[in-house]
Structure 1
Amino acid sequence: MAIWQIILITLYAGFQILDELTLYTGFNTPVGAGFVVGLIMGDLKTGLIIGAGMQLMVLGVGTFGGASKIDATIGTTLATAFSISVSGMSPQVAISSIAVPVAAIMVQLDILARFTNTFFAHRVDHYIETFNYKAIERNFLYGALPWSLSRAIPVFIALAFGRGLVQSIADALNGSWAWLGTGLSVAGATLPAVGFAILLRYLPVKKHVAYLILGFTITTLLTVVFGNIQALGGGVAAVNKNFVGTFNSLPMLAIALIGFALAILYYKKAISSTTSVAAAPKASSVSDEGEITDDEL
């Protein structure tokens, strides 16, 4: 791993948490981290695989107020960098052996950053009493430093000094500990399903089960159709060397547009129902199974 790659990834790690707190451009997400780090490391495909896997894993994970959560973005950052730079480490192994543990450890550093910021908060309180507005502005901006450093420093240390350790682990997982490496690969591949399960646990699935069935069925049908067409095109190309047609696999954009269309239909239906009758206020309700039922329009 070149020094310029370490520097760029470190700078990204420090920036992404500030982006999450302010701009929220999308580069502070696991899939955004996979894209950025994969681009820096020269392997965009591996970065997107790891980023998408971690993004799916945390679909149903959320926090409220000032609560800390697992930092899947930093986990993706290190997992992508090591998966690309270390030989013999698959994306699935990187997710289960690096991304998930790092994401959990970063909870403690997130808490440390929050506590450190209280120093600047007390300084702001002091300068409010003396009406020193410039000092108030400076200390408000200084609060960004603990947040940024809480991500940049661990990433820099891991990338600069941890590659040898990770390489040794990868060699062991492909050697005498191959059974463990296989298990980690399976675990990494199943984590997106866990994320979907958590998400479905908190979404109003019972109320909108028709949309769930419809989306699953459409996706399955289009996958079969496009898969058969692609196989047919490959067979024709193998027989006829002059055949120049291209048969693509299932475009995810098509699935996304179908979901978007269904969301528009539901939104319009909800708007029409709320405008026809006055919406009476109601208290938050949770079903016996724990499903939240008042989080839709």
Structure 2
Amino acid sequence: MNQISLLQGILLALMAFIVGIDFWLEGLFIFRPIIVSTLTGLILGDVRIGLVTGGLTELAFAGLTPAGGTQPPNPVMAGIMATVLAYTTGKNENEVIGLALPFSFLMQYILLFYYSIFSFFNVKLEKAADNADGQSFRKYAIIPMIIVAITYALVVFLSTYLAQDLMRNLVNSLPEWLTHGLEVAGGVLPAVGFAMLLNIMFKLEYLPYLVIGFILATFIEFPNLLPIALIGASFALITYFREKNNANANKEVFLTDEKEDYSNGI
């Protein structure tokens, strides 16, 4: 078991502030769990835990995307707290995914509350736009983003530094049957997340690639996942270049059909 220092707590809060801005803008997508967990592990001095928890949490949240005004469980808090819990409690990576979900739900409801009260700024933005007041428009557009970013920083600092002893004692006091259940649930969640992603992206023509990937990952022993990732990238490139060549061929056929025949002088 490890202790999070004040400096590490501040660095985690600063990271959460930056990630909160990116989550609001959806600019660089560093708010995804695979990035957030890796950065958290780097700050805590254990990149391996960050990579493992980040990969598992990313799979669990892969199919959860905002739709309209709805908000799914928050991926930022899930990524940060899964890594922090694995680091401070010594629990395995599958188990901490289940333990990190309450923090993800907490941030989800905070954001939903913010999105409700931020309608106040819409009126101000519309008025600034009607008056061509660029300075006021920028101000009212930036204020909600800063509020969200500060909230991320505060929640992360409180959860990772101030409440770490409470969390550790709570986790250690859980009965064995419950911790085992969380471990099983944590092992299932990545599969559920991947299935939700496939439900959106799956096409029958890509089924052979899925079967090949499943066989490689399940029945052939590799020292790590790099060979499978390279094979998957190769299949992606094959598909990309084939579709590109087909598109160019169809374009040439279309242009050829459009040309008129002047061989008879008419």
Does 28-37 or 62-71 show the bigger shift? 62-71
Report if the CA contact (8 A) 1:71-1:107 is conserved.
yes
TM-score, scaled to structure 2: 0.82
SS of equivalent residue, structure 2 residue 205: coil
Q: Determine the structure 2 residue equivalent to 1:58.
A: 61
Report if the CA contact (8 A) 1:17-1:151 is conserved.
yes
Q: Determine the structure 2 residue equivalent to 1:267.
A: 240
In the alignment, the residues of structure 1 paired with residue 34 and residue 77 of structure 2 have an alpha-carbon distance, to the nearest angstrom, of 11
Q: CA deviation at 1:66?
A: 4.1
Report if the CA contact (8 A) 1:96-1:187 is conserved.
yes
Taking structure 1 as reference, are residues 121 and 274 closer, same or farther at Cα in structure 2, changes over 3 Å only? same
Q: CA deviation at 1:22?
A: 3.2
Question: Is 1:163 aligned to residue 164 of structure 2?
Answer: yes
Q: Determine the structure 2 residue equivalent to 1:90.
A: 92
Q: Determine the structure 1 residue equivalent to 2:74.
A: 71
In the alignment, the residues of structure 2 paired with residue 101 and residue 137 of structure 1 have an alpha-carbon distance, to the nearest angstrom, of 34
Could you list the per-position Cα deviations for residues 245-268 of structure 1 after superposition, in whole angstroms to 9, with x for gaps in the alignment? xxxx23x33222211111122122
Taking structure 1 as reference, are residues 43 and 270 closer, same or farther at Cα in structure 2, changes over 3 Å only? same
Q: CA deviation at 1:48?
A: 1.5
Pairs within 5 Å for 1:31-46: 31-46=34-49
Question: Match of 2:106, as an amino acid?
Answer: I
The answer for unaligned runs of 5 or more in structure 2 is 252-266
Question: Match of 1:257, as an amino acid?
Answer: L
Higher relative contact order (CA 8 A, sep 6+): 2
Q: Determine the structure 1 residue equivalent to 2:260.
A: none
SS of equivalent residue, structure 1 residue 269: helix
In the alignment, the residues of structure 2 paired with residue 26 and residue 204 of structure 1 have an alpha-carbon distance, to the nearest angstrom, of 23
Q: Percent identity at matched positions?
A: 25
Q: Determine the structure 1 residue equivalent to 2:52.
A: 49
The answer for unaligned runs of 5 or more in structure 1 is 227-248, 279-297
Could you list the per-position Cα deviations for residues 95-119 of structure 1 after superposition, in whole angstroms to 9, with x for gaps in the alignment? 112x222222322111123234323
Name the Cα RMSD after superposition. Answer: 2.3
In the alignment, the residues of structure 2 paired with residue 41 and residue 21 of structure 1 have an alpha-carbon distance, to the nearest angstrom, of 25
Could you list the per-position Cα deviations for residues 50-81 of structure 1 after superposition, in whole angstroms to 9, with x for gaps in the alignment? 11111011222223344312112211212222
Q: Determine the structure 2 residue equivalent to 1:253.
A: 226
Report if the CA contact (8 A) 1:117-1:146 is conserved.
no
SS of equivalent residue, structure 2 residue 107: helix
Taking structure 1 as reference, are residues 218 and 189 closer, same or farther at Cα in structure 2, changes over 3 Å only? closer
- Per residue, is there more helix in 1 or in 2? 2
Pairs within 5 Å for 1:22-33: 22=25, 24-33=27-36
In the alignment, the residues of structure 2 paired with residue 125 and residue 197 of structure 1 have an alpha-carbon distance, to the nearest angstrom, of 41
Provide the aligned length of Structure 1 versus Structure 2.
248
Report if the CA contact (8 A) 1:28-1:73 is conserved.
yes
In the alignment, the residues of structure 2 paired with residue 190 and residue 48 of structure 1 have an alpha-carbon distance, to the nearest angstrom, of 18
Report if the CA contact (8 A) 1:31-1:51 is conserved.
yes
Report if the CA contact (8 A) 2:24-2:145 is conserved.
no
Taking structure 1 as reference, are residues 203 and 129 closer, same or farther at Cα in structure 2, changes over 3 Å only? closer
In the alignment, the residues of structure 2 paired with residue 183 and residue 51 of structure 1 have an alpha-carbon distance, to the nearest angstrom, of 21
Report if the CA contact (8 A) 2:34-2:55 is conserved.
yes
Q: Determine the structure 2 residue equivalent to 1:5.
A: 8
